Amino acid sequence: MITSLKNLGLALLFSAAAQAQEAKGLKEYYKDYFPIGIAVNTRSLEGAQADFIKYNFNSLTAENDMKMGPLQSREGVFNWTNADKIVDFAVKNNLKVRGHALCWHEQAGDWIFVDKDGKNVSREVLLDRLRTHIHTVVKRYKGKIYAWDVVNEAIDDDPNNLLRNSKWKEIIGEDFVEKAFEYAHEADPNAKLFYNDYNSERPEKVERIYTLLKRLKDKNIPIHGMGLQAHWSIFEPSREELEYAIKRYTSLGLEIHITELDVSIYKWEKERRKRLPGESDEYTPALQQAQTDKYEMFFDVFRKYKDYVTSVTFWNATDKYTWLDHYPVEGRKNYPSLFDINAKPKPAFWKVVNF
């Protein structure tokens, strides 16, 4: 009952927004530039939400359903239901699909690193499991998923280190990154393969990511692009930082995908979970204006580098729900999208489409 009322509410919301809609969907304005994508779950592909997505976007990413753990929660037991639904929806509606993500230190499924006694498996066993996972998943969607985030977030947060201390690195060694790309390429030689990371425009992190990517290129590892997650904010990155990052990565012959775009109204404080006493989460006109200016600048840069920026994907469709409502600070509302809580275009939308 509660669920169906909620669905009815959402349906009304999205259909009201559809009626009040602008002359064209977002993707139409960018048809001579790049596909405009959105991260989805299976509920977003029903009713009015599905119409909203089809109207505005022409590329899909699974928000969670193609990650390792959700796909293979136990060894050899693959749960295809949700991932299949997303791919079927895309095929039926002529949308592209970016696959996300084949190898990540989070949401990997606890079983993959350990034996039946809970002890770390050997390098050989883990490589074998990684190969099996990647081959099974990539082959299933061969010809339907045109690009994959092969390795997600391998660079450490600590500027003194290159790769983070994940189980992948601990058990396999640093070459787990190249192995993942090789397995993906074996499974679908036509798929475009990406390394994907956050804060990938912060000057010191650009250099560390560049070091990793250059190593891969120098070894002729099949990698075709750099994914900028683009969990950005009204504070960063600057135009200079963004342009520098794009130039640096593309100097290696890689293309750029913007893979998880949102523009938070707060500073990024990864370690903070609690709201401060009296901390407001009001979306003031000044914050909205700062966000509009950032969105305008970001898309201006994307268009300027359209020969290299070949896809732009948003992480949540509207301000009604966003992962940033509960992360990193619990219970603090955020407003990071181009569409407001009623799924209506915000001023930032109009700046992005009027160029």
Q: Which sequence positions are flagged as catalytic?
A: 153, 260
Nearer to ligand GLA, 104 or 308 (CB): 104
Residues 254-283 that bind ligand GLA (CB under 6 A): 260
- The verdict on whether omega for the bond into residue 83 sits within 30 degrees of 0, i.e. cis, is no
Does the protein bind ligand GLA through residue 229 (CB under 6 A)?
yes
d(CA 295, CA 291): 6
CB of 243 to ligand GLA, least distance (A): 22
CB of 97 to ligand GLA, least distance (A): 15
Nearer to ligand GLA, 303 or 333 (CB): 333
Residue in the shown chain whose Cβ atom is closest to ligand GLA: 323
The answer to whether 101 and 152 are in contact (CB under 8 A) is yes
CB of 300 to ligand GLA, least distance (A): 24
Does the protein bind ligand GLA through residue 313 (CB under 6 A)?
no
The answer to whether 225 and 192 are in contact (CB under 8 A) is yes
Nearer to ligand GLA, 17 or 45 (CB): 45
Residue written as token pair 């045109």: 146
CB of 352 to ligand GLA, least distance (A): 22
**Binder of ligand GLA out of 152, 264, 291, 318 (CB under 6 A):** 152
Which residues in 298-339 belong to E strands, given as ranges?
309-314
Which residues touch 340 (CB under 8 Å, ≥6 apart)?
Answer: 318, 319, 346
Nearer to ligand GLA, 87 or 228 (CB): 228
Does the protein bind ligand GLA through residue 197 (CB under 6 A)?
no
Q: Which two tokens stand for residue 94?
A: 């002529």
CB of 59 to ligand GLA, least distance (A): 15
Closest CA to 56 of 100, 7, 9, 14: 14
> Cα 14 vs. chain centroid, distance in angstroms?
23
The β-bridge partners of 74 are: 77
Compute how many residues bind ligand GLA; rule: CB under 6 A: 6
Does the protein bind ligand GLA through residue 323 (CB under 6 A)?
yes
CB of 18 to ligand GLA, least distance (A): 26
Number of separate helices (H) and strands (E) present in the chain? 12, 11
Nearer to ligand GLA, 82 or 152 (CB): 152
Q: Taking CB under 6 A as the rule, which mask of x and - marks residues 71-110 in contact with ligand GLA?
A: -----------------------------x----------
Nearer to ligand GLA, 47 or 69 (CB): 69
d(CA 13, CA 10): 5
Dihedral of the alpha carbons of 177, 180, 186, 190, in degrees to the nearest 10: -80
For residue 229, how many other CB atoms are within 10 A of its CB?
21
The answer to whether 229 and 198 are in contact (CB under 8 A) is yes
Nearer to ligand GLA, 41 or 161 (CB): 41
Dihedral of the alpha carbons of 301, 304, 305, 306, in degrees to the nearest 10: 110
CB of 323 to ligand GLA, least distance (A): 4
d(CA 176, CA 127): 8
Residues 21-60 that bind ligand GLA (CB under 6 A): none
**Contacting residues toward ligand GLA, per CB under 6 A:** 100, 152, 198, 229, 260, 323
